[in-house]
Amino acid sequence: MGRLAGKVAVVLGAAGQDNMGQVMARRFAEEGATVVVAGRRSEPLEALAAEIGGSAALCDITDKAQVDALAATALERH
């Protein structure tokens, strides 16, 4: 078990191919965290979530309502 077992991580900006968000999400998952990946494009988010055993959520961080909804979704799921 990794250092983050039993923890939940929400990673924003994880929709870009091999960008910092995806790298962080993979690392958190390797350390045992349950990861919610978020961004503006569903296809890459869903693929990453499937790869790391996490979940995906659409979120544009420039929209406060979407950020609030992401937080609520993460809390409800985990």
pLDDT reported for residue 26: 97
Burial of 57 (0-12, 13-18, 19+ CB in 10 A): buried
Q: Of the candidates 75, 72, 78, 26, which has an alpha carbon nearest to the alpha carbon of residue 52? A: 26
Whole-model pTM? 0.92
Residue 44 has pLDDT above 80, yes or no: yes
